Structures are given as structure tokens and as C-alpha cells.
Amino acid sequence: MDIRKISIGADYKSGAMHYIVGQEVLGGSHIIHLIQDHDEGYKIWIQKAEEIYLWKEFRKTLPISLEFNINF
């Protein structure tokens, strides 16, 4: 399944950081391209023009909430 949104932090409403595919980051210079599940955690990839970079990585030991794309 494709991850659409990841929230990192124990307090979902007021203390968590939220990252959504397609969201502008770094002052609007990049967008979130992909949120990827891997063995030890999650990786957030960003895109600027045709270039894609690994931006952030979070371990699975952190309090994390995931939202998936649902395509009917």
C-alpha cells in the first residue's frame, strides 16, 4: 500500500509533525515525493524538478501514525 501521510509524535493533534505526499517543504522549493516503509523505519523522499533526494528518516521505535492511499 502507498503511504499518503505520516505523523511522528505522541500527541497527534498538537505535538506531532505531519508529512503528506505532495506537500511543499523547505520554503516551497521541494515537494514530498514518497513516504517509504523500510526495515528499520520510514524514509521521506523529496523532489525538486527531476531530482529526488532522501530528506528524512524515522525509526519505528518512535510513536508514528500512518495514513494510506485508498483507491477504489
Question: What Å distances lie between residue 12 and 16, 29, 32, 71, CA to CA?
Answer: 5, 26, 20, 25
Residues in Cβ contact with 51 at an 8 Å cutoff, skipping those fewer than 6 apart: none
- Which pLDDT score is estimated for 72? 73
What is the Cβ-side half-sphere exposure of residue 39, based on CA atoms within 13 angstroms?
Answer: 0
pTM, two decimals, is 0.91
The confidence band for 1, taking pLDDT boundaries of 50, 70 and 90, is: confident
Name the residue ranges covered by the structural domains of the chain. 3-68
